[in-house]
Structure 1
Amino acid sequence: MKTHLISRLTALVAVMLLPLLGCGSGNSKLTVLLKDAPGDFKEAVVTIDQVYLQGEGGKLVLSDKKVTTDLLTLANDTATLVQDAVVPEGTYGELRFVVSGAYVRVDNGDGTTSIYATSPNYEGLPDGAQVDGDLQAPSLGSSGLKVKLDGDKLEVTGEQKVLVVDFDVSQSFGHDAGNMRKWVMHPVIKGADITLTGSAAVTLTLADGTTLPTVNGEQLTLADFNAVLTNSDGTRTVVALADTNEDGVFEVNFKFLFPGAYTLSFEGPMGVTSINVTPAIPFTVNVESGKEGTYAFTLNGVVAGAQ
């Protein structure tokens, strides 16, 4: 029987299943994000060498990029383990993390701390660290750490999803019975809620009686303008407007967005110094889970620099 820390430390792995843009049906995109909340450990560092799905067709490696992270630093952030991996549609029974090493630093209750590591030479240890005992991680470097999925199966289809799983660190690290100099890592991870991503459909039309100027010797059209969506960390997504059905309405659809507030604006080609749009820009777009928001704008005119 192992003695576990009393307080709970939770880690979240967000799995986004996004249809693969530009490819035929039968494929989805998969992104895996690792997140957690602070607890009583001083440090809890793991190195993940590989992330893979186990399905009807066998093992599908999503990423073999090595990631070393202290779970305790992720309370207000995420670590990206997999970015936009292509996954064929189908049924997958397991998501697994291959862990090559780890250590925990624990509070001894007397003002001191102790480090327990999978190896005294584990590459994730801080410089000059003294390892006080062993941290055993049975099978994690071979078969990998299994993520238990809700319903025991992960169905990958053309839908966009966010699958959240719960990594309970306090249940995952504990003293080995009868040996206070040894800890054992038996990660406890279980599935949780599914949240849909959202999208924003944006249209831009030219106001009646408005004529666009000539810039750099070329007559401007709405096709020369881009829609720009900026998220909370300042990342910009720039997409050119297009009139796909030739009805005079230029469109762009921002897909697979995490719920939250974004800033929408428009930009013209070099030489355009300002854009007059109704509603006024920058405009706040609130993306809701599982919903497509529609936003219609009218271009009233632009100001161009000296020709």
Structure 2
Amino acid sequence: MTQFRTLLYPALLAAPLFFGSCSKDNESNNSKLEIRLTDAPGDFRAVVLDVRQLEVHTADVSSADGWYTLAFQPQAINVVEYVNGKSALLTSTDFATGNITEIRLLLGPDSYVIGRDGQRYDLKTPSGQTSGVKLKLDNVTLRDRETFQLLLDFDVAKSIVERGNWKPNNDKKERYLLKPVIRVVAQDIKGSIRGTVSPAAALPQVIAIRSSITVADTFSTAADASGAYQLSALPSGTYRVEFYPTTTAPSGQAAYKNAVKTNITVVNNQTTDVGSTSLN
């Protein structure tokens, strides 16, 4: 695991762009890039960031300046909801293998905080800083059929600065400036689940659902002719594994049935063996 820390420069406005999430299938020369946002607590009831767009910079110079726009639905994110191990999933998308050197968040003009006094204060961005929130990355390589996660740790206490000349009778919109300080935790995601099914002739589809996050991730594979299966490149968390037979039992034998296993714990760099699952 590698950590980086930098002072960043937010954008005043970026045009909306609409995307869908990507499935977790394995494709040749494709990796998976996951970006999440978490928060170091600060003294506010709410801190809402108007996030409009996500981009990454690669060593590939065939695109304009090497920047690629990622799959992301523009949204307002209350970062104080994501503390103590919780994180908001910004994107999980297929991406070409190779090196990425930088990530950029484009922010709109509608970021704000709710203070301890219950009042809303717009977050102002210093003039001229319109190039986006930029994070430099070192030694980040996306490899074939692996998932790489970037966790953006937003430091509220250092990122929101009260104007020195602000007084209670002033316009509330002018109280705070947004000067994001974000720590990036980058890691290859190498957790996995494996097991077997019986009868093997059921050839089930196997679906692992990460239920320990607000918007569940879904990963899938299929058991082979011997009944064995393995799901790789899984983020850490608690999973529910579901089995759906794709064949019909021969006449005179018990019918194949769906099955579910719950509370399966996945830890990075480890393989969780769930043993044998009966589909009769």
TM-score, length-scaled by structure 1? 0.63
Is 1:105 aligned with 2:92?
Answer: no
Task: Select the residue among 101, 114, 121 that pairs with 1:116.
Answer: 121
Distance 1:138 1:189, change over 3 A: farther
SS in 2 for 1:23: coil
- Unpaired runs of at least 5, structure 2: 1-21, 168-173
Query: How big is the shift at 1:37?
Result: 4.8
**Cα distance per residue 1:63-88 (max 9 Å; x no partner):** 3521112112233753332231x322
Is 1:242 aligned with 2:224?
Answer: yes
Is 1:154 aligned with 2:153?
Answer: no
Q: Specify the alignment match of 1:24 in structure 2.
A: 28
Task: Select the residue among 236, 239, 250 that pairs with 1:262.
Answer: 239
Higher strand share: 1
**Cα distance per residue 1:256-299 (max 9 Å; x no partner):** 2222343445444789778699xxx7465332211233444275
TM-score, length-scaled by structure 2? 0.68
Q: Is the 8 A contact 1:148 1:190 kept in 2?
A: no
Q: Is the 8 A contact 1:229 1:237 kept in 2?
A: yes
The 5 Å alignment of 1:1-307 reads 21-25=25-29, 27-56=30-59, 57=61, 58-75=66-83, 77-84=86-93, 86-101=94-109, 102-107=111-116, 112-118=117-123, 135-138=124-127, 142-149=130-137, 151=138, 153-158=139-144, 159-180=146-167, 181-192=174-185, 194=187, 196-206=189-199, 221-223=201-203, 225-233=204-212, 239-243=221-225, 249-264=226-241, 266-268=243-245, 282=261, 285-297=264-276, 299=278, 302=280
- Unpaired runs of at least 5, structure 1: 1-17, 119-134, 208-220, 244-248, 303-307
Query: How big is the shift at 1:205?
Result: 4.4
SS in 1 for 2:43: coil
Distance 1:48 1:230, change over 3 A: closer
**Cα distance per residue 1:45-100 (max 9 Å; x no partner):** 1111100012332111113521112112233753332231x322233221110001
Q: Report percent identity of matched pairs.
A: 22
